[in-house]
Amino acid sequence: MLVGKHDILPVKETLDERAYNLFYDHVTDVRTTRDKFVQAIMTLDDYSVNENEVENMGWALKQASRRTKYTPEMQKFLNDQFVQFLAFGQRRVDVQ
């Protein structure tokens, strides 16, 4: 519905004409998309990939996290600190 003073009349079209125009627009768009796709494929044919540039399969998969293993010296230090805490209630490690 048009409200107000207009110089241009709305274009009236039948349901068949509207369907034809929509179909034509769709087909034209599909043809344009197909042409772009074919052009991209033709461009890829000219492109060569060095095998050294290709990552191994699974490179983007999340790796399982690994536990940090404490050395025997670290274990002894931590155990000593724990015993010291239990014995004296000292919470801070004295830096020597």
Is 1 within the bounds of a domain?
Answer: no
Distance (Å, rounded) from C-alpha 35 to C-alpha 29? 10
Report the percent of the chain where pLDDT is more than 70.
85
Domain that holds residue 23: 14-46
What pLDDT sits at residue 73? 93
Residue 25 pLDDT greater than 70, yes or no: yes
Is 31 within the bounds of a domain?
Answer: yes
Distance (Å, rounded) from C-alpha 14 to C-alpha 22? 12
Is 28 within the bounds of a domain?
Answer: yes
Is 58 within the bounds of a domain?
Answer: no
What is the domain count for the chain?
1
pLDDT confidence of 76, banded at 50, 70, 90? very high
Distance (Å, rounded) from C-alpha 33 to C-alpha 51? 31
